[in-house]
Structure 1
Amino acid sequence: MILTISSLLMMFANLIQQTKKIIQEKYLKHDDGNITTEETEVTDKQLDERALEMKDQIFDLIRTIKDPEKPATLEDLNVVYENGVEVIRQRNLKLYTVRIEFNPTVPHCSLATLIGLSIRIKVIRSILESVKLDIYIKEGAHTTEEEINKQINDKERVAAAMENPSLRDIVEKCIKEEE
């Protein structure tokens, strides 16, 4: 069956309309775009409160991650810290951007990528909200911070790393909760 350009354009336009409708239903406050001031204030306040709760929840999650080499948590080693977690609410969306900064113990830490991977996996598994997760090394804290930041924020690389049984076992040990 040969499709003409006009029929392809029609199909594409329908797909765009369907996608727009799904996005509006899932993320926007009201489909019609009409939001009363009173509703906005209550909703904004609730969403901002949820962002603060989420920040505390995320820090509580990552502070208990164990260092891959030492018998201590990332919080004990000052690798993660409370003001290194930031939750930003996207205006008019039920979506948050979570930014987590961590500070390896030494500028040439060979396990910084593994630490970032452990943080990502633990947060992804634990947070129910729709979030965009950015994890990065504190600026100037590591000799290869740009490369590591790219690796731990690349979904395909993260998925590939978690398919490696050895890496997966190490990450699981790092993020395992104490009983």
Structure 2
Amino acid sequence: MVSELINANPIVYEKKERQPRIAPPSVDENAAEIIDQLEIFDYLRDIKDPEHPYSLEDLKVLTEDSIEVDDEQSYIRVTFTPTVEHCSMATLIGLCLRVKLMRCLPSRYKVDIRVAPGTHATEASVNKQLNDKERVAAALENPNLVDMVDECLAPSLE
């Protein structure tokens, strides 16, 4: 029922047109593929919001500019912006981002998932949960939570 939603009428933004990705010719066949900001955004842009039939890109929860990649250091930071300051789904959204990247990226990457500063009432708590390996592992042992994550990721797995 719509009246039970935290943000019953979110603003839906126009999606940015996808640019075709052209892989650069590899000098060394054994060299690791370089991951960049656009590639990470492409992995994440179609994740469905847990409360709405829109993607995180549609709701501007995630933008290209909210992703930082340091391929040399194997470090990725994704900063997302919940649609409302008291979003009860912020931790689930962050978990979806983390799981998608765990499934797509080589294990050499350290991934840091954050709520944009000043955009959530419990920002520090959400950030702590999303970046604590033990808490993430415990969350992923909960079959109901994994089902919710898989449902949000379903459009991006097709």
Same fold (TM over 0.5): yes
Deviations 1:112-145, CA, capped at 9 Å, x for gaps = 0000000000001101251111010000000000
Please name the residue that 1:119 is paired with: 97
Q: Give the count of matched residue pairs.
A: 129
- AA in 2 matched with 1:85: I
Instruction: Return the letter of the residue paired with 1:107.
Output: E
Counterpart position of 2:139: 161
Equivalence for 1:76: 58
Query: 1:141 matched to which residue of 2?
Result: 119
Q: CA, structure 1 residues 172+79, in 2 after alignment: closer, same or farther (shift >3 Å)?
A: same
How far is the alpha carbon of 1:178 from its aligned partner? 5.9
Residue 62 (structure 1) aligns with: 44
TM-score (norm 1): 0.67
Deviation >2 Å, runs of 4+: none
Residues 137 and 114 of structure 1: CA distance in aligned 2, closer, same or farther (over 3 Å) = same
Q: Return the match for 1:99 from 77, 86, 90.
A: 77
| Cα offsets for 1:10-33 (capped at 9, x unmatched) | xxxxxxxxxxxxxxxxxxxxxxxx
Partner secondary structure for residue 163 of structure 1: coil
- Structure with the higher fraction of residues in helix conformation: 1
Could you tell me the percent identity over the aligned residues?
A: 50
Give the match for residue 171 of structure 1. Answer: 149
Structure 1 unaligned spans of 5+: 1-41
Counterpart amino acid of residue 98 in structure 1: I
- Find the residue that maps to 2:68 and give its secondary structure: strand
Deviations 1:4-60 (A, max 9, x none): xxxxxxxxxxxxxxxxxxxxxxxxxxxxxxxxxxxxxx99xx98x92xx43211100
The CA RMSD over aligned residues, in Å, is 2.1
TM-score normalised by L of structure 2: 0.76
